[in-house]
Amino acid sequence: MAMEKQNDLNNNYTDNNGSADSVLEQNFRVISPGRMVAKRFFKSKLSIAGLIMIILVFLFSFVGPLIVDATWGYKETQVFKIERNSDMVSKAEFYGPDGKLYTYYDKSQTLVVFKAPPSKDHWLGTDTSGFDIFTRLMYGGRISLVISFIVIFLETFIGIVLGGLSGYFGKWVDQLIMRIVDIFACLPGLPVLLVLSATINSIEGIPAEHRIYYLMAFLTLMGWTGVARIVRGQILMLREQEYMMAAETTGISALHRIFRHLVPNAMPQLIVNATLGLGGVILYESTLSYLGLGVPFPRAAWGSMIALADPSKGQEILANYPNMWVPAGILIVVTVLGFSFIGDGLRDAFDPRMKR
Amino acid sequence: MGLIDIFKRKKIEGVDDTMYLTLREERRISKENNKIIRKFEREKNRKNVPEEEYLTQMRDPSNVVEFEDLHTYFFTDVGTVKSVNGVSFDIPQGKIVGVVGESGCGKSVTSLSLMQLVQAPQGQIVKGSIRYQDSNGKCYEITKMPKDKMLKIRGKDIAMIFQEPMTSLNPVFKIGEQMDEVVLLHVEGSTPESAKARSIEMLKLVGIAMPEKVYNSYPHELSGGMRQRVMIAMALSCDPRLIIADEPTTALDVTIQAQILELLRDVKNRINGSIMLITHDLGVIAEMADYVVVMYAGRIIEKGTVREIFHDPKHPYTIGLMRSKPTGETRDNRLYSIKGQVPNPINMPDHCYFYNRCDKAMNVCSRDYPDMVDFSSTHCAACHLYYGEGLQEQNKGKE
Amino acid sequence: MWKYFLRRIALSLLILLGVSALIYLLSMLMPADYIDNQTYAALQSGAMTKEDVQRLKELYGLADKSFKGIVKSYLSWLKSTMSGDLGFSFLYGKPVTKVLSEYIWISFLIAFISYILQIIIGIPMGIKASVNQYSAYDYIVSVFAMMGTALPSFFLSALLMNVFAIKLGILPLQGLTTATKLFPPDAHFQILLDKAWHLVLPISVLTLLGVGGTMKFTRTNMLEVLNSDYIRTARAKGLSEHEVTYKHAFRNTMIPLVTSLSGMLPGLFGGAMITETVFAIPGIGYMALRATQQGDIPFIMGYNMFLSILTVLGMLISDIMYMVVDPRVKLS
């Protein structure tokens, strides 16, 4: 009730230029619509938490490497050979001829150069190839964030164009595009991405650095349908709106009408969709990297760092070297969670219906 | 609103500041709101409130409900909206009391306060009392009543009919289920069979031709008028002492409107209950009501019997309302409309709220809020025209 | 109504046709050397001849990579698929349909148990969160829900393995049976118990990953319903908050809930690639991942087609369920 009232007043007073009967109306002020959105966004503690998480991850991934480079001079693929003695104790039990149980210990020392434990110089130690883990985490974040932003940008672009065409022209264009959307939406995401990545990996003519571009293209290909559906839905909904009818009666051209009203109307939804999508792309990318089909070695990727702990390759790292894989996992969770928090906060802020 | 527009701050000519709140003000408002809301919610959520705390005495035992100095505020992000700001009126037994006013003047909030259904936590009854007398002559103070006790009054003694029959019925339950529910809940010793019999009887009472068929229908299978009849039947099923009809005909066709009103009056007589009829349609009031309460911006500006209000309106706003009603007699004139708009409910001024729209405004009107002036035992209005300084000023003007 | 369904089914078939063409094209992109790789050993040992290999390539249309050849081989593949023959898996040495029917059950079992757990845990949590919107409970549950969706399955699996299998040593690390234990062949119950023991972690992973989505979906829909007019009517009737929530509001929330949950049912047969692989559970997801890594083209195609069919089936089921649950849809 109260909300309704204020909306009325908002409309009434925006165009008020101090006519005779506005004495009363000037003694109050309302919140600007933009600030209303911002206010609703910041009202939720989760949105603020998400924003902080993402800012921290960004600083870590983009500013971090610069600082590391300046202080220690570590590079992404710099190999550190830190010699240390690793004690290996093997134990065997056997029954002696007297029937008693004897335990046999054998302590051997081996010289290890990789897999250094955390130290002052290498905060999280080094991994199986002797790379500095802390530094690699930064570079891994950078590649993940860059990939996700580019993919989401492309997805949104393709989605707007195709969804727009579909909704604007209708008829057979709509039918055709929507069937394509259906087909793409029906493709099983991960398996198809695996097939595509495996194909690219096996083609020898493609240099390893270029695989990332293909990876982004594939991720885009699997994700644009959502945006196309949103945009098309918006256009169809707009066509039904009374104010579009009103605009039509005033003789504004259809294209102008659609795009003048579409952009502002669909924008909040697209922003929310994109924000939530960023996390999804990061998850996909790290899954592919985990399987060795994403960001190619020796480039760092969070997924491939966790892959070191794959128990199929032996339990040693999973059990004894959490410093190698836990931080990468935490960073993925923090990043994806941060994007979800922001996306949810934005959705609630843009769409106050849910927040009464 | 466009994304870029969103972040623009619009200036108003002639006002030195922008029309928007500053961040600091916003923060202050939220902080205060939280404090107040928490206080009221804590009060409301107390358990095991002793009965003495909410038992009271009626001023006049012939009334079903008495509102006295009721204040219901909404603590919103832009400030406190005083939706109901000191409302006092009575609903006598067996009478129809019409509440009129423009949309947003607080009529619905008044009725929701009576039901304890004000949208919490923002909406709170801040001050005043609502007294309700049940059929045994016991009087309750609704504003202090605990939630669980209120459940026994809602739907049983006080029933409500809402404005939107299209959305007020639950779409996934059959009409029968929704009607039986009320009977089973409130009538002691009722069985599913007796409830069904009662529901069908009620459906017959509200003039539904095939009650069994409607009983087994889903809401979407019925027309708007039918649904409103169902709502009325549902409200009647426990013989309520008071029916609150919140704009019961606004959403309906004109032809159906008359039928529904006729029905309401008819059933009122049958159960000897009272009706609180909320509407902005003066025609409906003239047709139905015994007493009229005219509200403006959360306050009562005039009240009286329907005769007094229609034949001898005192407040300039009421006079304006009467003139803005099409009569069919004045062919030559255009329909009268009251200039301006209802003032913003936030930061209400100290003077008469109607001041800037009133064509009889005087100096004194911009100084104090007018007191209620009695014209008869039933008729009174809040206007400076009829007492003290204002009356003198008025007379001077005449000379 | 029947007309509507027939149209829906026709549309689904059309979509499947498109999907199959696309998947076929994708598989054609995969280098054919894989067949050579796979048949290399057989060729050496004399189990297969060069002609066999060539015939295999032709059979899967991998010999001719011109446009015309692809179209032709696609048509022949389509024809055999229609008759229920998805081809022959190199890696597993069996018809694809046989591999599918053998391995989907363990995947389904894991997925189904976690699906039930998601419903049992997620829905009540979502309802409670929506009723107490903005309370501490709501915040905690929302964060928990989003955590579930933000966790990569392989990371969660690794964490749980590290804690429960290695540190605490109370649950097995991988596999479906304990290799070091020998059971007498008639100890069915013990074998079953051993298997269940091995499934605890994978099921926990899938449940933790999915419960957040169910909870959030419930919460969002519940909030929407709780703000509607008929809930106000229900309150005005004098119903207690409990009845308002669980009878009136939840019955309405059920509509989207049942629709989406029933649509998920066919997908339960699809297997969880990553989780099954990490835990080395021989389910269909595990088999498919191995096949993908080894380039077992017939199996990849068969599996992807199978998944697409499940997706389409899920959409159909949720459409039908929508009509069953929502009384408003029946008439139109």
In tens digits, chain A (356 residues) has pLDDT values of 333 333 333 333 333 333 333 333 444 555 666 767 787 788 778 889 999 999 999 999 999 888 888 888 888 778 787 777 777 667 777 777 787 888 877 777 777 777 778 888 777 888 877 888 888 899 999 999 999 999 999 999 999 888 888 887 778 888 899 989 988 888 888 888 888 888 787 777 777 778 888 889 989 988 899 899 888 888 888 777 777 777 777 777 767 766 677 767 778 888 888 998 999 999 999 999 998 888 887 888 999 888 888 887 777 788 888 888 899 999 999 999 999 999 988 888 887 554 43
Q: Read off the pLDDT band of C113 (50, 70, 90).
A: very high
d(CA A287, CA A306): 10
**pLDDT at position A352, please?**
58
**pLDDT at position A58, please?**
94
pLDDT in tens, B170-215: 888 899 989 898 888 888 888 889 889 989 988 888 888 888 898 9
Phi and psi angles of residue A107, each rounded to the nearest 5 degrees, phi first: -105, 120
Cβ(A128)–Cβ(A308) below 8 Å: yes
SS3 (DSSP) at B398: helix
Whether residue C233 and residue B218 make contact (CB cut-off 8 A), yes or no, is no
d(CA A136, CA A324): 10
SS3 (DSSP) at C166: helix
Give the residue extent of every domain in chain A: 47-74+124-350, 82-113
Judging contacts by C-beta atoms under 8 Å, the chain A residues touching residue B1 are 33, 264
Whether residue B123 and residue A2 make contact (CB cut-off 8 A), yes or no, is yes
Whether residue B13 and residue A18 make contact (CB cut-off 8 A), yes or no, is yes
Interacting residues of A139 by C-beta distance below 8 A, sequence separation 6+:
A61, A65, A76, A299, A300
Specify whether the backbone of B388 is left (phi greater than 0), alpha (psi in -120 to 50) or beta. left
Handedness of CA A348, A351, A353, A356 (dihedral sign): positive
Q: Which two tokens stand for residue C201?
A: 């972690």
Q: Which of B48, B99, B44, B82 is nearest to B303 (CA)?
A: B99
Q: Pick from A1, A14, A264: which is nearest to B10 by CB?
A: A14
CB pairs under 8 A between B and C: 71
pTM for the predicted model, two decimal places: 0.83
Phi and psi angles of residue B310, each rounded to the nearest 5 degrees, phi first: -80, -30
State the nearest Cα–Cα gap between B112 and chain A, in angstroms: 11
pLDDT in tens, C151-178: 999 999 999 988 888 888 788 888 777 7
- Rounded to the nearest 10 degrees, the angle between the axes of helix C2-29 and helix C297-325 is 160
Give mean pLDDT, residues C127-152: 87
- Statement: A47-74+124-350 belongs to CATH 3.40.920.10: no
Judging contacts by C-beta atoms under 8 Å, the chain C residues touching residue B251 are none
Give mean pLDDT, residues C44-50: 73
Judging contacts by C-beta atoms under 8 Å, the chain B residues touching residue C239 are 151, 155, 181, 185
User: Residue A273 burial by CB count (10 A; 0-12/13-18/19+): exposed, middle or buried?
Assistant: buried
Judging contacts by C-beta atoms under 8 Å, the chain C residues touching residue B173 are 248, 251
d(CA A30, CA A158): 39
Q: Is B151 on the interface with C (CB under 8 A)?
A: yes
- Interface probe for C, chosen from B158, B168, B177 (most Cβ of C below 10 Å), is B168
**pLDDT at position C24, please?**
83
What b-and-e string marks burial along A275-304, b requiring 16 or more CB atoms within 10 Å of the CB? bbbbbbbbbbbbbbbbbbbbbbeebbbbbb
Whether residue B20 and residue A31 make contact (CB cut-off 8 A), yes or no, is yes
For residue B171, give the CATH number of its domain: 3.40.50.300
Tokens 């600083």 map to which residue? A59
Whether residue B20 and residue A30 make contact (CB cut-off 8 A), yes or no, is yes
State the nearest Cα–Cα gap between B342 and chain A, in angstroms: 9
Q: Pick from B1, B10, B26: which is nearest to A31 by CB?
A: B26
Q: Read off the pLDDT band of C332 (50, 70, 90).
A: very low
Judging contacts by C-beta atoms under 8 Å, the chain B residues touching residue C238 are 151-156, 182, 185-186
Interface of C with A in 11-30 (CB under 8 A): 11, 14-16, 18-19, 22-23, 26-27, 29-30
- Interface probe for C, chosen from A4, A194, A283, A310 (most Cβ of C below 10 Å), is A194
Q: Is C70 on the interface with A (CB under 8 A)?
A: no
Q: CA A205, A206, A209 angle in degrees (round to 5)?
A: 150
**pLDDT at position A152, please?**
94
| Chains in contact with B, where contact requires at least 3 CB pairs less than 8 Å apart | A, C
d(CA C28, CA C100): 22
Q: Which of B152, B110, B89, B104 is nearest to B344 (CA)?
A: B104
CA A323 to each of CA A107, A119, B139, C34, C162: distance values in angstroms, whole numbers, following the listed order: 25, 11, 71, 37, 13
User: Residue A109 burial by CB count (10 A; 0-12/13-18/19+): exposed, middle or buried?
Assistant: exposed
Q: Which of B122, B151, B135 is nearest to B41 (CA)?
A: B122
Q: Is C38 on the interface with A (CB under 8 A)?
A: no
Q: Is A47 on the interface with C (CB under 8 A)?
A: no
d(CA A134, CA A124): 6
Judging contacts by C-beta atoms under 8 Å, the chain C residues touching residue A340 are 146, 149-150
What residue numbers bound the domain in which B122 lies? 51-293
Q: Pick from B1, B7, B20: which is nearest to A264 by CB?
A: B1
- Stretches where chain B sits below pLDDT 70 are 1-23, 327-335, 344-345, 397-399
d(CA A306, CA A323): 10
**pLDDT at position A100, please?**
80
Whether residue A39 and residue B77 make contact (CB cut-off 8 A), yes or no, is yes
Q: Read off the pLDDT band of C257 (50, 70, 90).
A: very high
d(CA C56, CA C71): 17
Judging contacts by C-beta atoms under 8 Å, the chain C residues touching residue B156 are 238
Q: Which of B322, B296, B323, B324 is nearest to B381 (CA)?
A: B296
Judging contacts by C-beta atoms under 8 Å, the chain C residues touching residue A192 are 23, 26, 304
State the nearest Cα–Cα gap between B148 and chain C, in angstroms: 8
Whether residue B344 and residue A39 make contact (CB cut-off 8 A), yes or no, is no
Domain count, chain B: 1
pLDDT in tens, C192-220: 888 888 889 999 999 999 999 999 999 98
Where helices occur in A89-188 by DSSP H, the ranges are: 133-169, 171-186
Interface predicted TM-score of the whole assembly (ipTM), two decimals? 0.85
Interacting residues of A97 by C-beta distance below 8 A, sequence separation 6+:
none
B278 in a domain, yes or no?
Answer: yes
Phi and psi angles of residue C11, each rounded to the nearest 5 degrees, phi first: -65, -40
- At the topology level of CATH, where does C96-325 sit? MetI-like fold (1.10.3720)
Cβ(C263)–Cβ(C321) below 8 Å: yes
Q: Pick from B12, B18, B26: which is nearest to A39 by CB?
A: B26
**pLDDT at position B331, please?**
58
State the nearest Cα–Cα gap between C279 and chain A, in angstroms: 8
Residue C187 has pLDDT above 80, yes or no: no
Cis peptide before B240 (omega within 30 of 0): no
Tally Cβ neighbours within 10 Å of residue B50.
8
Give mean pLDDT, residues C237-256: 89
- What strand order describes the sheet that includes B63-76? B79-92, B63-76, B123-133, B139-141
Q: Which of A147, A83, A135 is nearest to A328 (CA)?
A: A135
Q: Pick from B78, B341, B347: which is nearest to A31 by CB?
A: B78
d(CA A320, CA A304): 18
Which residue of chain B has the CA closest to C228? B167
Whether residue C295 and residue A312 make contact (CB cut-off 8 A), yes or no, is no
**First-to-final CA distance of chain C:** 8
**First-to-final CA distance of chain B:** 55
Judging contacts by C-beta atoms under 8 Å, the chain A residues touching residue B78 are 6, 28-31
State the nearest Cα–Cα gap between A248 and chain B, in angstroms: 19
Q: Please tell me which residue, C131 or C91, carries the higher pLDDT value.
A: C131
